[in-house]
Structure formats: structure tokens, C-alpha cells
Amino acid sequence: MPLPRFRRHLSVLAVALTGLGAAVAHADEDTPAPAIHRPEVAEVTVEGANKTNSGTVRSFGQLDVGDEVDADELVKVERRLLSTGLFQEVHASTEPLDDGRVRLVLRVKDKASWVVAPTVALSSANTGGGLLYAENNLAGRAKKLAVAAQVSTGESGLYMGFLDPILFGLPQLKFSLEGQLRSDRVDEYRPGASQDDPEILRRTRLNSASLSSELGFILFERVRAAAKYRVSTIDAQLPDPTKPVTTEAFSTGPHLRDTSLRFMVGLDSRQTLHAVTEGLNLEGSYEVSVPGVWSEFRYRKFGVLYRHGIRFFSEHNLILRGELAVGKDLPFHQELVMGGTTLRGFQYRQFRGDTRLTFTAEYHFPLFKVKSLAFRGLGFSDTGVIGWRELPSDGILRDASGRVIRGYLPQTLESGDSATVAQGVGAGLRLYLNNVVLPLLGVDVAYGVNSGQVRVYLVAGVTPS
């Protein structure tokens, strides 16, 4: 059966099922509502696309020959195309034909799809930069490729990623492939959020290599599900002998293989239109690492994520984000962290635990424009709670073979089950180029409410993460 007709039949079935109760409730009404004429699409033409393949434009529009169309549907088509980030301008219209059907005309203006940009990290405990090449519309088919190299005090490495958002030409299927080589300097701080200058108790160098692939499904434009498989190797170096704690956080020796399988399901109606995001995202996830998925570890992670974008006054934007993450038997390199860009106002990855609850509110607003360059301001509040639910009595977590995969700090054991609550507030600036697919610059100034310290965070271009 042709795809447009199959999609039309699915839509009719969905409407029939969801409207069944309403039909029964109003069965006694004598006068039915007058039917609204929705002409059928006989042709679809694409104009103005210099690089994007016409079939790709039609796939993202999700309206094809045999479908019915009206003014509301044209608005939806325009929003779908704009939210891809591929186009500066989009206009959908119809032209009548002699047989009563219509021609659907999609007029688009492509953005510059590739960029070579610096990657700059300027925040507490993580300073450095690198270079990134990103192509957002590979071969005119919306496939995305990114290659980056970065050197910073907190994390350095190489990254490569590929994303196909319309696998086999279907917007309902997404596929991604990512690879990384990383060297992380992991600092563990003295517990507590009120320190003016948090003390580093132990410093460990972790080297890793990873490869992951994800397949996603989208149903009715809102329901999303995905499965992700990741395989990596982990190698820890001896702790820095100049720091107070020199016992190992993770056993040195042969590399260990960490493999996991992650499942996600949720509702996602978000769309980003010219730097303004609106819509709701709710999702739950479960990640497991056991020998059954070819891993040398045994741990689990559960997560619930909430994201919501609300538009005000045309170009104002309130963005809310909340997340609950819970881990079980997490090794050192998989522990939950908080601080830096995830909790502005505090040191990069200052807080650690196996349970974390965070909430962020940002209000974005336009300042002024210079041709295609838009300057936007924002105010924000980051709040987080993190802690340990259970710690081994001897302070050591081992794998099945007896190897130490986490040696906890004595100060962590002393703090016991107490959780750390921290908040940062501040303001920032964002620069956007309307004709380029990536933001140009972002800078935030944050005040740590607990510590009274002010910290600055800068991101230029994009970051590999």
C-alpha cells in the first residue's frame, strides 16, 4: 500500500478510535455538524530549495498526494519544516486544479548547512577549546555529521557523530551512530555546597573509548521510543599524589568493558522555530549494564525527564526542565554529577551521587537584531538535589570478580545519607544567526546562592556533547 494512503488510513483510524466516546455521547442529537470541505492533494511541488532534496522537504512536510488539506494543515506543514532547522523561511500554499483537487506548493529558503566553528569551554574547573566541523544537511537529505577535537582541563578527546532523522525517507524513524575517545580529569570535592573555594580531595585520570548506536521511533508526531546500545572501554590512572586522598577511586590495570542497553519512551511535542522552543516533552528511561549485554559491570539507571517550552509575546520564551535520575551500583565513571553547566554557580562536576533531582527555569527574550544576527538575553535559576541512597560499610564497591570499581572518599562516608541541595541564579546572552544552523555564542554569569560565589560560563560555537 502506498505510504500516503497508509498514513491517511492511520489518521482515519486514530480519529475514529479517539472520537468513539464522543459519538456515543451525542447519538441523540438530531442535526449533525456541517462537513468542512477539505480538497485532496493531487500534486506536491517544492520551490526555492537550493540544496535540500525535494523528497526530503516532502518527507518533513508529511502531507502528500491523496491527503486532504485545509488552512490549519498548511500551518502544521510550515511548523514541521521550520522546526527541522534547515530553512530560514517556509511558506506552504495550495493552487486549485480543474478537477477540484489542489496542488500543494512548498516554498523554502535553505540555511547554510555546514560550519567550521571553535569549541570553547570557559567555566570553573573546565577551561579549553577545540575545533568542530558540522554538516546539518548531508547530500541534501537532512543527515547530520559532526567531527570535533577538544582539549580542556576537565575533558579532552575526539568525537564523531552521525544522525539520520528520516531513516529510509520516513520521519517516523531516526538512527544515530556516535564514537568518542576521551580523557577525563575527574576531581572529587569535599562534600558541601557552601564552600567559597571547594577543596579537591582526590584527582583521577580516566581514559575511555566508546561507540554507540540508537534507533528511534515516532508515532503520530508525539509518541517517541528509542533503544540505544553502547560499548566502551574504561581505564583509570593512579590518583594525583599531591592531593589529600591517594587511595584509588577505580582499580588500575587492564581496561574494563562497559556495555549498556538503554530504552526510552515518552511524549514529545516540542518544536524550535527561530530560536524559540514551544511544546512539552515527558519521557522515562531505563539503562542496564550486565554480562548479558556483553558488559563486565552490573549497574542500572532509571530516569524521568520533563521539558517544556512556552512562547510569550511572539519571541519571548520560558523553558522549564526537570529531571529525576536514580542509579544502582554505579561504578565511578557512571556516577551522577552536578555542577558547572548542569548547575550554574558551582564548580564543574562538583557534586556526585547515585540519586539526583534537578530543575531549571530560563526566560529568554529578544534584545535587538543586526540583519540576520539576533541578540537574546535570558534569566535563569538552577536548583539541584544530589546524594547517596546507600553506601557499602567498608567504602568499597566491587564487581563480580572482586575488582574495585568505586572507592569512596572517607568524607563521603562520614556525610552518610545526607543530600546536597544547591541553587544558582543568574543571567546570560545568546547570539543566533538566522541563516546558519548553529548558535554562534553563549555566555552566562551565575551566582551560587549557597556559596555566594559568582562564576562565568562561556560556550562558543558548539560543544561535542
Q: How far is CA 317 from the centre of its chain?
A: 18
- Specify whether 251 is located in the same domain as 379: yes
In a domain, 389, yes or no: yes
Mean pLDDT over 28-54 rounds to: 80
Q: Are 225 and 216 in contact (CB under 8 A)?
A: yes
Same domain? 256 vs 140: yes
Q: Which residue has the cell 509575546?
A: 313
- pLDDT given for residue 32 in this prediction: 55
For range 274-285, the mean pLDDT: 94
Cβ(153)–Cβ(126) under 8 Å?
yes
Our count of domains for the chain comes to 2
Residue 54 and residue 159 in one domain: no
280 and 370 belong to one structural domain: yes
What pTM did the predictor assign? 0.86
Distance CA 251, CA 48 (A): 59
Residue 117 has pLDDT above 90, yes or no: no
- Three cell numbers, residue 342: 548542569
Is the pLDDT at 34 greater than 80? The verdict is no
92 and 180 in a common domain: no
Q: Which residues contact 55 (CB under 8 A, 6 or more apart)?
A: 141, 169
Please list the alpha-helical segments (H only) found in 26-157.
Answer: 54-61, 71-83
pLDDT recorded at residue 9: 44
Asked whether residue 27 is assigned to any structural domain, the reply reads no
Give which of 325, 463, 305, 319 is closest to 381, Cα–Cα: 319
Please check whether residues 353 and 387 belong to one and the same domain.
yes
Q: What are phi and psi of 324, to 5 degrees?
A: -120, 125
- Determine which helix (DSSP H) or strand (DSSP E) holds 279, and give its type and residue range: strand 276-289
Rounded average pLDDT over 452-459: 87
Q: 177 and 50 in one domain? A: no
C-alpha cell at 289: 549494564
| pLDDT of 323 | 98
H/E stretch holding 412 reads helix 410-415
Give the domain range for residue 264.
114-461
Do 268 and 171 belong to one domain? yes
Q: Is it the case that residue 331 has pLDDT exceeding 70?
A: yes
* H/E segment holding residue 179: strand 173-189
Residue 164 lies in a domain: yes
pLDDT of residue 246: 96
- Mean pLDDT for 273-281 is 92
Residue 147 lies inside a defined structural domain of this protein: yes
Q: Based on the domain organization, do 121 and 59 belong to the same domain?
A: no
- Let me know whether 130 and 102 are in one domain: no
Distance CA 333, CA 209 (A): 12
